[in-house]
Structure 1
């Protein structure tokens, strides 16, 4: 088994920094810049320059550069090819069935681009040559500002501190208030319930025994006892039930009054 040559897999080494060529055609920034400089040398208005003479000057310049440097920037070569095409369109009459733009139209487009580049260069030059502040032009001297030194002195009593603390606490408290709804027995409801619970019984029974099923929650316990006690006094006045209490703070016993005819 033979091994493959190593040079098949080795990639070519990158060129050294000294071997890299940088194209600089007499300091021009591009082919249109070169065309503008050649047009200026005719010393006529850009709208009246000779496009044929301009194309011949450009092609001659590129040919001179190529004799010194074989590799010229692609933009310059593309412009040279386009100018050669323009020169041929200007020299050869246009056929009737030719849909391509005429040489005069191409020349007018080139003149417009050169005039626009000239206007841009003139505007840039005017902007760069304007007097600059603090270099060629100096502003009027402004008065020195008055420097004010402030020292804050905080003076507060204990009452002020407590008031500020309370105000800060009140900011985080919700202002929505929902009152607690309590279940309240009316006297009429308590009277009807007592009469129904006592019924026809003549035995002494504590009031809490009758109301045991209604004393389940602390919220209802107070209103049930208060309304039932007030209703029982009214029933005693009417002679419907009897009340008895055998000791101080002892339970209240009640029964149906024997004098109640029913």
Structure 2
């Protein structure tokens, strides 16, 4: 019987066994946010799809390790997330199961160190008993569905709406612009100055007009109500005919 090759994680930042990846993350030698758990799960699904039979023990180990990584990543991405009592209970139950799994795994390593080498005696062969029997409803499809649900539960990146803010000319800039135009033209109508400007700019232009009149820099006159406003300046420069 051929020995099945152990599952190896392959990402840009890490390549190796899944349990070693978890150990490095717990020791803060790798950042959980830099590892794509979706890619790891997809890679494992591809592997088991290529097998003739479902590797129950290996799959159970993968789910336990993946659940631990998911828990660590969720808390890293959402440290201030408020959970409901049911969600808190589910997380505590998951943590308890993962701690039990960790204890069993460490105990297994200890037994391997004690009995992994050559022994002074050799016991009689005994057919190993099944210590774990999967539920009869456990199939490859149900496992795939469970992993997909796990992936769908990963935190999603929220796309913030884009808002374009138009630049509005300041009153100071408008005062300077209007003063310059009146000085160059000697006599200028406000309607000519406003031209095809936006409504907001016309309002700022009118405020600039009032400020220049208040300071005595220009004079303003109006022949009739609601008529055009004529602007003149005492300080006249060379006219510009642009």
TM above 0.5, yes or no, is: no
TM-score of the superposed pair, with normalisation by structure 2: 0.27
More strand by share: 2
Larger relative contact order (Cα-Cα within 8 Å, sequence gap ≥ 6):
2
